[in-house]
Structure 1
Amino acid sequence: MQDSVKVSGVSSMATRLLLADLTQAFSELSAIEVGFTSVGGVDAVKRMQAGEHFDVVVLARDAIDKLAASRHVVAGSGEDWVHSSVAIAMREDAAYVAADSESALRRAVLAHKVGYSTGPSGSALLLLFERWGILEEMRERLVQAPAGISVANLVADGRVDMGFQQLSELTNVPGVRVLGLLPKGCEIVSTFSTAIGTAAEHLSEVREFLTFMHSTDAAEIVHRHGMSPVREN
């Protein structure tokens, strides 16, 4: 009997759990075996540019564009996949803090130690603080999650009081309570895209998996993880 084809993928941490469920669902439909390595988006780009090969790449759009420019993903293969909104979280046992309006969120941020992620969502948060005119005031109370550590972990461990990260990364984490998405006027939405690695083998199998990722069958799983398929918008 012929061995199943193995497809390798790399993704950012924000889509780790979603991709685990998607690959499980895909395995029930196909003999193709798909396995993802999930790391920080910046690290994923560095690893590929250093020569590490992956068949499927799932990263924020700007990271896909960098890899296309350096010819580490196939030109023209990048396709926007899901939108992921940034949410606010605190420790489960922390006192309630209002953060349901822009003014309330600004007051809350100024009173707490804040954790944020690498990549576009973290950069967008710093730009928001800059727009509010509080970035320099916040510098000593900002903690960027190091490689391999999620913002949710920083919150749960008490290293920060408030954490900002994609909703999918903050939900169902022991010791963490999600306050909600960023309020109107300060929304941060990241777009994650798919692409094909330039060194990919078994291209028909890679495309079969990508077709599934963008399908209506996969959309239900995407919604379960607090994201929305781009094609529905």
Structure 2
Amino acid sequence: MPSLFKTCHALLLAGWAFSAAAHAEELTVMTSGGFTAAYQGLAPAYAKSSANTLNTVLGPSMGKAPEAIPNRLARGEHADVVIMVGYALDELIKQGKVDPDSRVELADSRIGMAVKAGADTPSIATDAELKKVLLNARSVAYSDSASGVYIEKELFKKLGIQDQLAPKSKMIERIPVGSVVAKGDYELGFQQVAELLPVPGITFAGKIPEDVQSVTRFAGGIPKNAQHPAEARRLLEYLASPQAQATVRSSGLDSVPR
């Protein structure tokens, strides 16, 4: 006999499938790096149950890179769903580009550290350990999105090592921080855990201590000019559903407290 969990999940997907079967659509989804692994794990089930297809466009939530989601929308690129850092989504809502009633909170993301595979994996469980590791490192890399901005502007300052880290740390644009650590270009790499875990050639050392942690809330919304808003809303409902949370957590994210 199937469990209640599996039965509810099947009924939920079946309901979406029934409502969408008559008219399948192609949805364009813009998603930023921190939620990408969870989205890629969940997208096939949605596509199968709804008969819709998903055209996925990747880009950071902010920054100067042309791939950044706000810059894509500013150029007039089309999207049915945008998934990004919550406060960056709120800015798009303020600008009138995203429907405020469509905002759905999806997951919390914490910052972690990685080293090159095969290197010693230091402990960063306490503030003192993290500070020592940073001071002893030859080079440090961090992302050009929310986690990197926090590290550069706040974390180093909180640990009292801003001056010492400035000459040997760098914000990495457009590409995963783990990739430059895997090549040996930088000794330590900091990024949201969900963006470090999929990168080959590195070892995940752990999350930074909770008292100096920065938790980033990811959220999704529907642009005002979305071509398929009803289908987009059903996708966001699925990504936030209880049935999606095991996949969300396995990607390195934390479920949003409900």
Q: TM-score per shorter chain, which class?
A: over 0.9
Residue 131 of structure 1 aligns to which amino acid in structure 2? K
Give the Å deviation of 1:215: 0.9
Query: Which residue is equivalent to 2:144?
Result: 118
Select which of 165, 182, 188 maps to 1:138. 165
Give the Å deviation of 1:229: 2.3
Give the Å deviation of 1:89: 0.7
Structure index of larger Rg:
2
Q: Deviations over 1:70-109 (max 9, x none)?
A: 1111123222210011111101121232322100100111
Range 1-10 or range 13-22, more displaced = 1-10
Aligned-residue CA RMSD (Å): 1.7
- d(CA) in 1 for partners of 2:223, 2:198: 32
Contact 2:124 2:207 in 1 (8 A): no
Query: Which residue is equivalent to 1:181?
Result: 207
Instruction: Classify the secondary structure of the residue corresponding to 1:226.
Output: coil
Range 205-214 or range 164-173, more displaced = 164-173
Query: Which residue is equivalent to 2:238?
Result: 212
Give the Å deviation of 1:133: 2.5
Contact 2:158 2:212 in 1 (8 A): no
Select which of 49, 56, 66 maps to 2:74. 49
- d(CA) in 2 for partners of 1:49, 1:137: 38
Residue 58 of structure 1 aligns to which amino acid in structure 2? I
Residue 168 of structure 2 aligns to which amino acid in structure 1? R
Select which of 56, 60, 66 maps to 2:91. 66
Scaled by the length of structure 1, the TM-score of the pair is: 0.93
Query: Which residue is equivalent to 1:8?
Result: 28
Q: Of Structure 1 and Structure 2, which has the larger fraction of its residues in strand?
A: 1
Scaled by the length of structure 2, the TM-score of the pair is: 0.84
Unaligned 5+ segments in structure 2 are 1-20, 63-67
Q: How many pairs align?
A: 231
1:59-208 alignment runs, 5 A limit: 59-112=84-137, 113-126=139-152, 127-147=154-174, 149-208=175-234
Q: Of Structure 1 and Structure 2, which has the larger fraction of its residues in helix?
A: 2
Q: Deviations over 1:21-43 (max 9, x none)?
A: 11112122111112221112221
Contact 1:102 1:184 in 2 (8 A): no
Unaligned 5+ segments in structure 1 are none
Instruction: Classify the secondary structure of the residue corresponding to 1:52.
Output: coil
Select which of 46, 57, 63 maps to 1:26. 46
Moved over 3 A (4+): none
Q: Deviations over 1:168-200 (max 9, x none)?
A: 111143220111111232222211001001111
Alpha carbons of structure 1 residues 4 and 184: separation in structure 2 relative to 1, 3 Å: closer
- d(CA) in 1 for partners of 2:54, 2:245: 18
- d(CA) in 1 for partners of 2:248, 2:127: 28
Contact 2:110 2:215 in 1 (8 A): yes
Contact 1:152 1:170 in 2 (8 A): yes
